Structure 1
Amino acid sequence: MGTTAVALLSASEQAIGRAPATALPARPTPLPLSAVRLRPSPYATAVEVNRTYLLRLSADRLLHNFMVYAGLPAKAPIYGGWESDTIAGHTLGHYLTALVLMNAQTGDQECRRRADYIVAELARAQAKRGTGYVGALGRKRKDGTIVDGEEIFPEVMRGEIKSGGFDLNGSWSPLYTVHKVFAGLLDVHGAWGNTQALTVATGLATYFEKVFAALDDAQMQMLLGCEYGGLNESYAELSARTGDRRWLVVAERLYDRKMLDPMVAGQDKLANFHANTQVPKVVGLARIHELNGKQPPADAARFFWKTVTQHHSYVIGGNADREYFTEPDSIATHITEQTCEHCNTYNMLKLTQHLYGWEPDGALFDYYERAHLNHVMAAQNPKNAGFSYMTPLMTGAPRSYSTPADDVFWCCVGSGMESHAKHGEAIFWEGGTTLLVNLYIPAEARWQARAAVLTLETRYPFEPESRLTLTKLGKPGRFPIALRVPAWAGDRATVTVNGAAVEPTMAKGYAIIDRRWKAGDVVALTVPLDLRLESAPGDADTVAVLRGPMVLAADLGPNEAKWEQADPAMVGADLLAAFTPVPADRATYTTRGIIRPGDLNFVPFYSQYERRSAVYFKRFSEVAWKTEEAAFRTEQARLKDIAARSVDVMHLGEMQPERDHALTSEISYPVSYRGRNGRDARSGGFLEFTMKTRPGPLALQATYWGDERARDFDILVDNVKVATQHLEADRPGKFFDVDYPLPIGLTKGKTSVKVRFVPHDRSSAGPVFGARMIIVKPVATA
């Protein structure tokens, strides 16, 4: 009887397409990127735009410093921007990885040829040096000259370590740059077995193994206080490639206790940490866990991912304000023009794939899909192949993209090269006998395990249905197909096989259909794409609008037209009822009667490449709006007025603004209070930076925190003292601005001035949480 019951159950399962929950594999892996080809879609367009960009770059220009610092002639002039600064070389590492990914995604053989050429040139430079080191990073000496950055490492080995978080002995994040080159070499080796790439990587690893071996634990922690990227990941990967455990030992020692110990302990101490400095460290921990099997690295990786995605992320899946994590669940108070650095999301998606490979869970890819669609796809301008550094969510803030003429080569240009070379990499996964579909992106894939060709046809998330066809199936038979059902779809998703409805088994966010499959079979998933509101962490009444996984934004017009109005608000009881699709298959909507001051059109946020947007809205009832409107408009007007009168703005304590304003300092440190970054100067030191001016009366405005201990400092403009500032705890719990009117003769005929903060003896200057050069309002006359 028992045998008959089992046989009947199996037949029933086959008839209705159900499967045991155990059909989800324990350790899934993605189908190789080289086995996936994208079909026409915005993702395929992004890849092709990026391919054109990659092939437009000059390998020899990126190699310039590698050659010159090795004593070899350069074949082309150096690029500008970051590549002419002391962080030079990081772009080449990204470029190597991007070429590998583009070759896999498209089969472009020129990408492989270029990667092999770069490796051969690096090998030549490494051999010329004779130390194992190869690099392009520079070192800025006290006289301002930039020289070969290798000269800092003997100093480090002697214990001479000076760092403010990004600067190490006069070089900008040098170990971060080393990691990018290291990772690129390993990617070339892994893609097609280029042994020369592994040799160069091993030489580089050996050089830095000696550097680290010279340091005791305290010195090592001091060194790791400077951004080191995912260098731990590269050493772990080298151990896996070579089978040599010595490299895993180095990887394990690259462990920043200040940040990572709380993650292991399950404590959210992320506030005030530079976000993208931390994410690669955790990606490295994930790789280390995969090799040593120890639990603490896995615990830290899981806790970090959960903490960042649930308590530190914006609606588009990105994180950080002006590059820094803030207090947990404080997103609503950090909706600024500097949100969501692309590199952070690039690395968070890498971490997501590691965690998914340990245990499949649809929730992981719910996050992945959201960040991939709304942030990564927003970070490339398909018109000119430009990449964004930040993706601003402040109402009316325009996106800023690199252009080929800029030669900026930000970190996010590098991660952008990679992100838009691999949009097919995480669509299909396999494990055991199961095929999993995690992303609904039009694609064709070869599934070797079943000698199959898979065709995924969809206009999702613009339309609700996605159809997977087993176009070829060399090994037909029974196996499970698991389709991710996003959590927001609830129990309203439907599945059909060859047009007939089936009732799948649901497990961990997947609809699983286990049956005998044959060539030509079609399984389709349809999900509801209703609108919904999502509150920002920290304020239930700061909301964004989503349609399925897609974030919608109010279209505020082209970038060329400045947004100088009050931020729009939503007012009413049933807000979503006021949205009307026009037309529905394009995810565009009009509103009627709920937006103050007037109705707006809503469109997919990611596609607002050259247009201004509103993503987050304050939500009010009709009664509350009448009470709040006056105060709301007054504060908005004040902020708009300051912005309109600003000639130049300096965000102190932030890497790129400080470089843009030529900051110099001594005994000065970046700080962050209440999510705002700043910088102070201690007794005997100073901080100085350049600010733009314009004709007419000007004032320097500085922002301070009202809860400081007593301190005094002078403020000088072009070496003329304009004020002495006293701070003490007299304005608890708030930031405040102080305006320092400047004598007209101090700025007359000048395009810029130097602003200097100097502490009194045994005191501190600041912290200063930003400075502005503003136009003085004319005095009203009767």
Structure 2
Amino acid sequence: MGHYLSACAMLVNHTGNSHVESRLKYIVGELQKVQDALGEGYLSAFPREHFLRLQDLQAVWAPFYVIHKIMAGLLDTYNFLGNEVALKMVKDEAEYFTGYYDRVIAVNGTDHWLRMLETEFGGMNEVLFNLYDITKDPEHIRLAEAFTKPRFFQPLLQNTDPLPGLHANTHLAQVNGFAARFEKAGHEASYAAVTNFFSIVTRAHSFATGGNNDHEYWGPPRQLADSILLQEHATETEETCTQYNMLKIARYLFRWTGAPVFADYYERAILNGLIGTQRMPAGYSPQASAGWKHPLNGTSAPEMWIPDPTALAAVAAMDLRADNWRTAAHLLFTGGQSLASRNGNEPGPGVVIYLLPMGSGQTKGGSSRGWGDPLHSFWCCYGTSVESFAKLADSIFFFRQPPLDSGVLELYINQFTSATLASPLVGLSVQLEASFFQGAAATANISFAPLTASGTAGGESSGAAEIALKLRIPSWAISSGVQVEVNGQPWAGCTPTAGPQAGSFCTVRRVFHAGDRVVLVLPMSIRAERVQDDRPEYSSFHAIMMGPLLMAGLTHGDRSIEADPGKVAELLTDVSSKGLASLVLPAADPPMHIRHDGTMLRADMTRVASSLDGTYRLLSHDDRDPGHFAPTASWSFGDIIILEAANMPGVYVHVGDGQGAALELRRTDPGLASRLVLRSACADHEGSIVLELADRPGMAVGLHDGGLHAVQLPAQALGHQVAFPAMASFVFELAAPLAQYPHGTKLLTGADRQYIVAPLMNIVEDSYTPYFDFHQPSTSLAMATS
């Protein structure tokens, strides 16, 4: 509930949504009734007895962790919307727990209290320091100080690493409390603790995503290879809650210092570790998650669960009451027409992940919890996720207000996310349009427009304002190619002595007018980053980065490549979508898409297998060179084609010798793949085809014993054009591709093989591998791209 309150408050602050604001006010009012009924300022979903158990050091799950959430949500409601009722409720809760703390100290002493702090208590220190900043009540700062755990805080002051063996999210929330202690109470030592912690965790415990932790815990420093290589670990990495807290820490540090390194980290962490963690494909079955053990070749009954087509009728017949509304809502959610009509690649709200797997051939839903359920999942990561997605705009722009009469307002363009800023401080509306997927460079177009009299965008006055515009030039940018233009003219005055440099801010100070435009072009460096592991046997494992984006391989577990990681920029090229198509078997009930392994896939069950597993690239003879095959976007009956797996370059469909031989995949020369003749199947069913084996006339690909095999065509078909029944087991349709490549997809070419790689943020259901195992080529690079 606390994260939901925060999310609503932030959403109203960013959008002005009056419906959300009225709902938030209603919820706060109802919570106040609960607090009044419980008495003494206590507000919680569980009884006071939990805190007695905590005091007795008995088993109890994190009661202060939950109290922190509700207090933070109420405080955000006050901070963003000025809700005085919410503020009073937080103060009453703080007064209650001040009394609780005093009673514990009086009865059990300080050492006993510190033992109680070994149970996760969230960010109680942070919310209380933030409350003190509003009230200036010394009781609030006294209680906040009580939640400082010396055995974690003191090593950080000495810049030693206390992280191995600690639960990550428990302690990340405490670091945010240290930050608030410095910012709100002026505690200088806490500044050192926060900066030292950030350095330790990012240099010795982090993945290329900017995230960290394995099974929610930190391991030994610079020994992360185990977390990506051992499959029992590799699915349980990078808890989403921890990314939420890491982003908060980075934001504190950037606000204090203005240092680009913290903005660079924020960008890496939010793009790779947060964006792309919410998903709801059409036909998704939350019930399936419990039995989801084989994300690529699912066979368990729960995994293949499909909503009963009578669900809608059942809901319509229900007498909806207070005790069954959730059942009805869930039936509608999984079986409703709105979902059935969605495109299979279209995301939807309310389905997020708890963990982001970092192993090979993993899927985002392949962890122990899988994708969550919008109505039934109540993980901690649902709370942090709803808040994270409500505050995506909170670190795009920053101000630095100079002292009076000593300069002009500094406006920082900190993140390259399309957004509009309407602030009276600036005097103009600032519109930012940004993209990472326009060629080899990221781009940002910044335009200025008038404000209305009330300080919102869309005014008619011809405003003007002197501003020092601070454009972040990320550390990943190629300095020699960075371009800054103001109204079409190059801007050379980024600094008093130099042009734009990676890892700095470019200052554009001038009087801006409505209609002015600033354009920033940032060529993205492509590089391989070694896994944070100093053991020599793991020195070959690297993640490929394009700008801030982790480029994961679309693989089912393969990760080995013969290539020099120092020259990876030369190995990454654009990939074409030409020739992509899917095979559909109308004879199946319902019609099925054919996967590369010869099994079948329902179009609405792409959650249990990558849509790319049912997508092929058609290659046909080059008329000028019959031995050469090239991707083709068109075909005619009589054409000879081969089929390449769309997500596995150089892997082709092969049908073994003899009747009944199975369809299989082989990594081979295209000339050795099975050549298929496209024959017309049904005169009355346009687009129907038979895939006859070119070197075995009369044999074709067909359905047999639940898979695809070589089957004998009817005798009368030999040498003749025959109309086959549309539902014959060897009649297919060439359909539009079941999937397209994610935005930003590239082709990685090594000396031995090629991979399709794509930004992790844009991968949803496809299996992926974040780290490649690089080996120096044994021969010169000679592979040609497809």
Please indicate the TM-score interval, normalised by the length of the shorter structure.
0.5 to 0.7
Q: Is the 8 A contact 1:555 1:613 kept in 2?
A: yes
Matches within 5 A, 1:271-310: 271-310=164-203
Query: Deviation at 1:479?
Result: 2.9
Matches within 5 A, 1:183-194: 183-194=72-83
Matches within 5 A, 1:242-281: 242-281=135-174
Matched, 1:601 2:756: yes
Correspondence for 1:613 among 738, 760, 768: 768
Q: Is the 8 A contact 2:428 2:465 kept in 1?
A: no
Q: 1:529/1:212 Cα in 2 relative to 1: closer, same or farther (>3 Å)? A: same
Query: Deviation at 1:366?
Result: 0.3
Instruction: Identify the residue that residue 442 of structure 2 maps to in structure 1.
Output: 464
Cα shift readout 1:268-326 (whole Å, capped 9, x = no counterpart): 11111000000110101111111221211111011111211222111111111111111
Cα shift readout 1:432-459 (whole Å, capped 9, x = no counterpart): 2111100011111113213210011222
Q: Is the 8 A contact 2:35 2:41 kept in 1?
A: yes
Instruction: Percent identity, please.
Output: 29
Matched, 1:580 2:558: no
Instruction: Identify the residue that residue 249 of structure 2 maps to in structure 1.
Output: 351
Q: Is the 8 A contact 2:427 2:465 kept in 1?
A: no
Correspondence for 2:93 among 204, 209, 214: 204
Q: Is the 8 A contact 1:402 1:408 kept in 2?
A: no
Equivalent-residue separation in structure 2 for 1:572 and 1:314 (angstroms): 21
Q: Is the 8 A contact 1:176 1:228 kept in 2?
A: yes
Find the residue that maps to 2:479 and give its secondary structure.
Answer: coil
Query: Deviation at 1:154?
Result: 3.8
Query: Deviation at 1:413?
Result: 0.9
Matches within 5 A, 1:408-557: 408-432=377-401, 433-460=409-436, 462=438, 463-472=441-450, 476-492=464-480, 493-503=482-492, 504-505=494-495, 509-538=504-533, 539-556=538-555
Query: Deviation at 1:575?
Result: 4.2
Query: Deviation at 1:155?
Result: 4.9
RCO (CA 8 Å, sep 6+): is it higher in 1 or 2?
1
Q: Which moved more, 1:412-421 or 1:236-245?
A: 236-245
Instruction: Identify the residue that residue 44 of structure 1 maps to in structure 2.
Output: none
Find the residue that maps to 2:425 and give its secondary structure.
Answer: helix
Equivalent-residue separation in structure 2 for 1:591 and 1:491 (angstroms): 24
Q: Is the 8 A contact 2:396 2:415 kept in 1?
A: yes
Equivalent-residue separation in structure 2 for 1:334 and 1:155 (angstroms): 35
Equivalent-residue separation in structure 2 for 1:119 and 1:192 (angstroms): 12
One-letter amino acid of the structure 2 residue matched with residue 297 of structure 1: S
Instruction: Identify the residue that residue 357 of structure 2 maps to in structure 1.
Output: 392
Q: Which has the higher helix share?
A: 1
Q: 1:589/1:404 Cα in 2 relative to 1: closer, same or farther (>3 Å)? A: same
Find the residue that maps to 1:378 and give its secondary structure.
Answer: coil
One-letter amino acid of the structure 1 residue matched with residue 171 of structure 2: Q
Cα shift readout 1:650-705 (whole Å, capped 9, x = no counterpart): xxxxxxxxxxxxxxxxxxxxxxxxxxxxxxxxxxxxxxxxxxxxxxxxxxxxxxxx
What stretches of structure 2 of length at least 5 have no aligned partner?
A: 229-233, 281-346, 402-408, 452-461, 578-741, 781-786
Matches within 5 A, 1:9-20: none
Equivalent-residue separation in structure 1 for 2:526 and 2:423 (angstroms): 35
Query: Deviation at 1:205?
Result: 0.9
Equivalent-residue separation in structure 1 for 2:117 and 2:39 (angstroms): 26
Cα shift readout 1:346-368 (whole Å, capped 9, x = no counterpart): 01111111111111011101000
Matched, 1:104 2:13: yes
Matched, 1:571 2:562: yes
Equivalent-residue separation in structure 2 for 1:277 and 1:624 (angstroms): 50
Equivalent-residue separation in structure 1 for 2:197 and 2:413 (angstroms): 25
Instruction: Identify the residue that residue 363 of structure 1 maps to in structure 2.
Output: 261
Query: Deviation at 1:529?
Result: 2.0
Q: Which has the higher strand share?
A: 1
Find the residue that maps to 1:117 and give its secondary structure.
Answer: helix
Cα shift readout 1:617-660 (whole Å, capped 9, x = no counterpart): 111113599xxxxxxxxxxxxxxxxxxxxxxxxxxxxxxxxxxx
Equivalent-residue separation in structure 1 for 2:777 and 2:435 (angstroms): 38
Q: 1:518/1:576 Cα in 2 relative to 1: closer, same or farther (>3 Å)? A: closer
Query: Deviation at 1:404?
Result: 3.5
Find the residue that maps to 1:334 and give its secondary structure.
Answer: helix
Find the residue that maps to 2:275 and give its secondary structure.
Answer: helix
Equivalent-residue separation in structure 2 for 1:180 and 1:402 (angstroms): 23
Tell me which structure has the larger Cα radius of gyration. 2
Query: Deviation at 1:405?
Result: 5.8
Query: Deviation at 1:114?
Result: 1.9
Q: Is the 8 A contact 2:362 2:768 kept in 1?
A: yes
Matches within 5 A, 1:659-670: none
Q: Is the 8 A contact 2:751 2:779 kept in 1?
A: no
Q: Is the 8 A contact 1:427 1:440 kept in 2?
A: yes
Cα shift readout 1:32-55 (whole Å, capped 9, x = no counterpart): xxxxxxxxxxxxxxxxxxxxxxxx
Equivalent-residue separation in structure 1 for 2:238 and 2:182 (angstroms): 28
Matched, 1:337 2:235: yes
Equivalent-residue separation in structure 2 for 1:475 and 1:267 (angstroms): 53
Count of matched residue pairs: 504
Q: Is the 8 A contact 1:555 1:612 kept in 2?
A: yes
Matched, 1:381 2:283: no
Q: 1:263/1:576 Cα in 2 relative to 1: closer, same or farther (>3 Å)? A: same
Instruction: Identify the residue that residue 215 of structure 2 maps to in structure 1.
Output: 322
Find the residue that maps to 2:468 and give its secondary structure.
Answer: strand
Q: 1:606/1:365 Cα in 2 relative to 1: closer, same or farther (>3 Å)? A: same
Query: Deviation at 1:465?
Result: 2.0
One-letter amino acid of the structure 2 residue matched with residue 204 of structure 1: E
Q: Is the 8 A contact 2:426 2:467 kept in 1?
A: no
One-letter amino acid of the structure 1 residue matched with residue 523 of structure 2: P
Query: Deviation at 1:540?
Result: 3.5
CA RMSD across the alignment = 2.2
Matches within 5 A, 1:629-708: none
Q: Is the 8 A contact 2:561 2:750 kept in 1?
A: no
Q: Is the 8 A contact 1:568 1:617 kept in 2?
A: yes
Cα shift readout 1:568-597 (whole Å, capped 9, x = no counterpart): 2121344443322126994211233446xx
Q: Is the 8 A contact 2:164 2:219 kept in 1?
A: yes
Q: 1:461/1:345 Cα in 2 relative to 1: closer, same or farther (>3 Å)? A: farther
One-letter amino acid of the structure 2 residue matched with residue 533 of structure 1: A
One-letter amino acid of the structure 2 residue matched with residue 569 of structure 1: S
Equivalent-residue separation in structure 1 for 2:236 and 2:51 (angstroms): 34
Q: Is the 8 A contact 1:392 1:399 kept in 2?
A: yes
Find the residue that maps to 2:176 and give its secondary structure.
Answer: helix
Equivalent-residue separation in structure 1 for 2:465 and 2:348 (angstroms): 47
Q: Is the 8 A contact 1:393 1:614 kept in 2?
A: yes
Equivalent-residue separation in structure 2 for 1:117 and 1:488 (angstroms): 46
Query: Deviation at 1:396?
Result: 1.1
Instruction: Identify the residue that residue 231 of structure 1 maps to in structure 2.
Output: 124
Equivalent-residue separation in structure 2 for 1:95 and 1:254 (angstroms): 24
One-letter amino acid of the structure 1 residue matched with residue 278 of structure 2: Q
Find the residue that maps to 1:489 and give its secondary structure.
Answer: coil
Cα shift readout 1:147-179 (whole Å, capped 9, x = no counterpart): x3x1132455xx5223xxxxxx4x311110110
Cα shift readout 1:508-539 (whole Å, capped 9, x = no counterpart): 61011122322221111111124211111114
